Amino acid sequence: MPWVPEERFDEEVGTFARVSAQSTLPPVNGAAALEKEPVGQSKILVLFCGTGSVERQFTKQFPNSEVVAVDIQPKWGPTHCEDIMRWDYRQFRPGHFDVVWASPPCTEYSQAKTVGIRDLRAADRRVRRTLEIIRYLRPEAYFIENPRGREPHGLHTRRCMSNLPAPHLVTYCKYGTAYRKPTHIWTNVPLRTPLRVCDSDTPCEFFRQQKVAQGGRAMRAGGVFAKGMGARENLYGIPSALLKQLFHNLTLHEEVHAFLSELLVREDLSEMSVLVQSAVVESDPPEFEPEPIALAGVRAEVTIIPEGGWESDASGLSD
């Protein structure tokens, strides 16, 4: 029976699909695992693409790739300059994209928002729409990025995210920026190397960053001011070293896919499941080599996503 998204109508969001709470490498079912586009061209969809840092790093690591970028701001030069709430994502069939990356606007969730009333309902609607798109497209891998906020406003505290796998915490200063910017990344990709975090156990070289991840300056403990980053555009980009580490984990998918193709050509199907399991478990990929920045150590507090697939149900309702 073909996969059909489970849908219902929501007055504020429109039709939206329930998003999975499980994540894994795609299941291996012999020839059925190869019923997608030929190996060779990786495809990524970037939602809320902003400055294009994700696309640039992805095409650098996967030169023969197709990029679709969606953003409401024409100045970023997206391939689709549209409001995500009105964008027709069903023009692409499920499985078309290998990767979906989403960086929903963080303004309403940010701890830096100290003026005005937070419109969390509108922010949650955009996130639910993002989850709807991921659910429909069924990519091999997804990433959702958002700065870590404080309760009860941070995205990780919102009901629409409550059934997703626990996010990975990372601080940008560990990847070459002058500001700390604690950030959460949700993904279904098992990370071979934990993301790096600046804290009292693993501080940056000078521990205190030179700047803060906001426009204006901010006062630190002791009455010392730290400079802001000026224009918001200076904060939108994601460090290339971080993206490099995350995308490095995607090569295993391509290796297994190519390995299956070779087995099918040889018509050696009897031992396929055993050989594939060996390739996944016993393969020894090259270690990730971070760009040269000061490192004091790495904490191994990271959640490894168990195998399971897109089978479990999860609600996407906001408070």
Q: Which pTM does this prediction carry?
A: 0.61
Q: Please check whether residue 18 lies inside any domain of the structure.
A: no
Per-residue pLDDT of the chain (319 residues; tens, 9 = 90+): 333 334 333 333 333 333 333 333 333 333 333 334 444 689 999 999 999 999 999 999 999 899 999 999 999 899 999 999 999 999 999 999 999 999 998 776 666 655 567 677 888 899 999 999 999 999 999 999 988 866 676 788 788 888 899 999 999 999 988 888 899 999 999 999 999 999 888 887 655 545 544 454 544 445 544 454 444 554 568 999 999 999 999 864 555 455 544 544 554 444 444 443 444 443 444 444 433 333 222 222 333 333 443 333 433 333 3
Residue-level pLDDT at 112: 61
Point out which residues pair with 7 in neighbouring strands. Answer: 17
Distance CA 9, CA 149 (A): 30
Looking at the structure of the chain, the number of domains it has is 1
Residue-level pLDDT at 118: 66
Contacts of 262 (CB under 8 A, 6+ apart): none
Q: Please check whether residue 137 lies inside any domain of the structure.
A: yes
What CATH number is attached to the domain comprising 195? 3.40.50.150
State the helix-helix crossing angle for 53-61 and 240-248, rounded to 10 degrees.
Answer: 50
Would you state the structure tokens that stand for residue 33, as one six-digit string? 């695992």
Residue-level pLDDT at 10: 37
Distance CA 165, CA 150 (A): 19
Express each pLDDT in 173-225 by its tens digit.
999 888 888 999 999 999 999 999 998 888 876 555 455 444 545 444 455 44
Residue-level pLDDT at 114: 56
Residue-level pLDDT at 5: 36
Q: Please check whether residue 275 lies inside any domain of the structure.
A: no
Q: Please check whether residue 150 lies inside any domain of the structure.
A: yes
Is 27:311 a contact under the CB 8 Å cutoff?
no
Residue-level pLDDT at 38: 45
Q: Please check whether residue 93 lies inside any domain of the structure.
A: yes
Residue-level pLDDT at 2: 35
Q: Please check whether residue 22 lies inside any domain of the structure.
A: no
Residue-level pLDDT at 103: 94
Q: Please check whether residue 154 lies inside any domain of the structure.
A: yes
Express each pLDDT in 46-68 by its tens digit.
999 999 999 999 999 999 899 99
Q: Can you give the residue range of the structural domain that contains 45?
A: 41-249
